[in-house]
Every structure is written in C-alpha cells, then in structure tokens.
Amino acid sequence: MKLIQRVGYYLGGLAIGLIILAFFFNAKRTSCSYGPQARVLKTLNSKKITYGDEVHRSDSSLVKKILNNGHVNFSKSNPRKEPCGLYVIEEDHENKMTILTLENCDSMVKVLTIKNKASH
C-alpha cells in the first residue's frame, strides 16, 4: 500500500470520527467552558437567583441577560470572600455599561446591585 493511500484512509477515518463526535456532542448540548470567565458564568447560571433589598425582581430578565452575555471583572471581584464570593459582572450594550454585583453562595446567587453608567 502506497503512502498516499494510507494518508487517504487516515483522513477518511478522521473525518468520519469527527462527524460522529459532533453528532453526539451536539445532542448532549455540551460546551467547552474551561476558561475562568466561562466557568464562573456557568456556575452562576446554574444556581437559584435571589435578589437583595436594592434590586427589584422585575429586573430578572436583565440579570439573566447579563449573566449570559457579560464579562466578569476579576480585578473588582473577591471570589474567596467568606462565606460567599463576591463577583462583579459587566456588560456593555449600546454605549451603556451595566454593572451587576452579586454574591455566589453554595446553593444560591444573591444579586446585590445593578448599576448603569455611560461607557466611553
């Protein structure tokens, strides 16, 4: 068997394997969230959300939107704070910065504040 035939069989098998993997992973709705940003947002989205005194429950759709599209500001966050870690999540949309401050406890996430300010 010539080298070109071996390469052809290898690439054909690799393509079939990738198609099968894509089929299985797509059906399970898996995601590759290995970075710190993605892991924090995924953890926060998986817990029950409660609201502090300064935040109204009517803002729940805004909170979900920020948790899905926002970025964690690790320099302003304190994830090792006891008993619940403190996170600051920011989202820039249409020249307006929305800043969400929340506590990440063992079984729930408590939204402390939602602030809007003009971004530059």
pLDDT of residue 9: 95
Same domain, 26 and 38: no
Same domain, 86 and 99: yes
Same domain, 55 and 114: yes
**Domain span including residue 1:** 1-30
Same domain, 49 and 94: yes
Listed residue (36, 55, 41, 57) closest to 113, CA to CA? 55
Lookup: tokens for 29: 């709705």
Beta strands in 2-107 (DSSP E): 48-51, 71-72, 85-93, 96-104
CA distance 73 to 88: 6
Peptide bond into 36 cis (omega under 30): no
Same domain, 75 and 96: yes
Same domain, 60 and 74: yes
How many domains is the chain partitioned into structurally?
2
Q: What is the pTM of this model?
A: 0.69
Per-residue pLDDT in tens (0 to 9) along the chain, 120 residues: 899 999 999 999 999 999 988 887 776 666 666 888 888 888 888 899 888 877 777 777 888 888 888 899 999 998 888 888 999 999 987 788 889 999 999 889 998 888 888 766
